[in-house]
Amino acid sequence: MLLKSIQKIEKSKYKGKVLNIEVADDNSYVTNAFVVHNCDPTRAGDKFFDVDMVRALLKEATPPERKSGISRFWANYDPSKRYGIGVDLSDGVGKDSCAYVMFDFKSGTQVASADANDIGPDLFTYEAIKVGQQFGDCILAPETNNTCGGIAVRVLKEENYPNIYQKEVTDKINQVTSKTVGWHTNSKSKPDMFYEFRKDFNDGHITILDDRILREMLAFTNSDLQDARTSAVTRHFDLLVATCIAWQMKDHSGHTEKVRDFYANLGSTRRIAAN
């Protein structure tokens, strides 16, 4: 049979079932003309998470109790509990998704999430603010690695959101400690937060209810963790990154301070005493 070269490739909209022919083990098979291999990232080796645990949770995953816009909720606000939100932002509009995840730290349960690749980081931050306000002005940590993170911080400050994650940063030359807003993912903090999340997940301290997050966990590998691009966006682990950031807030969540006290505290600096 004479095979013609491909002349043109076009995208077209499709709505309906997509069938997948599977065979055991390597998931490849031979047709009359081709050797075919289905690329399923959940089958890749070098898994970072315990596949059996994740698959078991996937079987038990439940749909959200309610939806509001792009947000999905598995629980309502309980003032006796502590909550925290992690936000991973991108340019959106057809590229990587903006995503947020919220935990109830009293039970270790993920109780809300959202992701969208068709709205910008500013509008997505407004959505995260709205949810944070509904849950007692809980602590909110936007990732600040890129321009999108800067946009998120600007929006949070413009809206006077009173409970933004902040970290002390020390200038060792001038011996001055100041505070920065947002979560910065770098070559140290990225593996640290992933390893801590995995340990607590394996130890049964974390319950994930969103099947989207579980599927990202199923596909995530050690190679993805070692990727020099610290946001792990090349394979679209936006919800998973937001999940790990949110889990880091467990040690920082608590009662909300007044807006003026938060921003006054943010602007303060202190000089380190000489040894």
The length of the chain, given as a count of residues: 275
Tokens of 50: 């315990």
85-115 per-position pLDDT tens digit? 999 988 655 567 899 999 999 999 999 999 9
Angle, vertex CA 183, rays to CA 180 and CA 188, nearest 5: 110
> Are 161 and 137 contacting, i.e. CB atoms less than 8 angstroms apart?
yes
DSSP strand pairing (109-116 vs 71-73): antiparallel
Q: For residue range 191-239, what is the model confidence (pLDDT) as tens digits?
A: 999 999 999 999 999 999 999 999 999 999 998 887 655 444 445 799 9
More confident residue, 38 or 58: 58
Q: What is the signed CA dihedral for 131, 98, 145, 135, rounded to 10 degrees?
A: 10
150/132 Cα distance (integer angstroms): 19
Assign a CATH topology to domain 44-271: Nucleotidyltransferase; domain 5 (3.30.420)
Q: What is the pLDDT of residue 93?
A: 55
Domain boundaries, the chain: 44-271
pLDDT value at residue 232: 44
User: Are the C-beta atoms of 170 and 179 separated by less than 8 Å?
Assistant: no
Predicted TM-score of the model (pTM): 0.76
* Structure confidence by residue, pLDDT tens digits, 116-174: 988 889 999 999 999 999 999 999 999 987 778 889 989 999 999 999 998 866 655 66
Helical segments of the chain, H only:
51-60, 121-134, 147-158, 189-202, 211-219, 222-225, 238-248, 259-266
Whether residue 181 is predicted with pLDDT greater than 70 in this model: the reply is yes
